Amino acid sequence: MTDPLTERVRANLARVQDRVADACARAGRADSPRLLVASKYWDVEGMASLAEAGIWLVGENRAEELVEKWARWHDVFEFHFIGHLQSRKARKVLPCVSLIHSVESVSLVEELNKRASGEVRVLLEVNVSGEESKYGILPAAAEAFLERAAAFERVRFVGLMTMAPLVTDPESVRPLFRELRKLRDRLAEVFSGRYELSELSMGMSNDYEVAVEEGATIIRLGSALLSGT
């Protein structure tokens, strides 16, 4: 018999996938976003329930936990890093991940460039809401940031990421997702030839359907997979 946690994750995952498909249909999208599970809610051994439920992409917030989880599960999951990354931990994180979602300082870009053995794929974290408590580059500063970052050749920006504010009505963050998409489209033109900015990492448990309608290519979910029934 499968354990109850796996069953719960599996049922929630099926519901999420239905809702994602509906959101794609509403938006007339032919492609569908990748679903990343925020692994911070699971301990190392608990991640077995994710594997059994059919999840293959996870994102970790903390460097130490990433290293531990990666050591145990790198044959099973693809790992991304989604938390705030301090430059001094860049070296730890690099061997474990195929994408870092949360780059927002030139010093981190410099450190990644120095420590990487090959190319590092990253997203620029943008603070579209402008809330002071949030990490990320303000939209107006994103172009200048990428111009400076372009000097570091091993670091390849492949898109943008944002964390929307927690709200009760997900419709209220739609303009922020739309703004991130427009910014991505504009920067993709400005930096064509240097960067291919195709990814939009946006949407969490409370607002992923809106994010999918607005063009998310990666949604990051945690609590939606743990909820009751």
Ligand X SMILES: *Cc1c(COP(=O)(O)O)cnc(C)c1O
Tell me which residues touch ligand X (CB under 6 A). Answer: 38, 40, 61, 82, 163, 204-206, 220-224
| Closest CB 180 distance from ligand X, rounded Å | 14
Q: How far is CA 46 from CA 36, 91, 100, 167, 227, in A?
A: 16, 26, 23, 29, 16
| Closest CB 192 distance from ligand X, rounded Å | 28
Classify 32 in phi/psi space as left (phi over 0), alpha (psi -120 to 50) or beta.
Answer: beta
What's the CA dihedral at 139, 222, 200, 140 to 10 degrees?
Answer: 0
Q: Which of 113, 206 has the CB closer to ligand X?
A: 206
| Closest CB 223 distance from ligand X, rounded Å | 3
**CA 32/CA 62 separation, integer angstroms:** 28
State the sign of the Cα–Cα–Cα–Cα dihedral 120, 54, 204, 4.
negative
| Closest CB 153 distance from ligand X, rounded Å | 27
Q: Which of 113, 205 has the CB closer to ligand X?
A: 205
Q: Which of 101, 184 has the CB closer to ligand X?
A: 101
Q: Are 15 and 225 in contact (CB under 8 A)?
A: no
State the sign of the Cα–Cα–Cα–Cα dihedral 161, 227, 131, 58.
negative
SS3 content of the chain, % helix, strand, coil (to 5): 45, 15, 35
Q: Which of 131, 147 has the CB closer to ligand X?
A: 131
Burial of 91 (0-12, 13-18, 19+ CB in 10 A): middle
- Residue in the shown chain whose Cβ atom is closest to ligand X: 222
| Closest CB 28 distance from ligand X, rounded Å | 25
Q: Which of 99, 204 has the CB closer to ligand X?
A: 204
**CA 100/CA 43 separation, integer angstroms:** 21
| Closest CB 101 distance from ligand X, rounded Å | 7
Q: Which of 89, 220 has the CB closer to ligand X?
A: 220
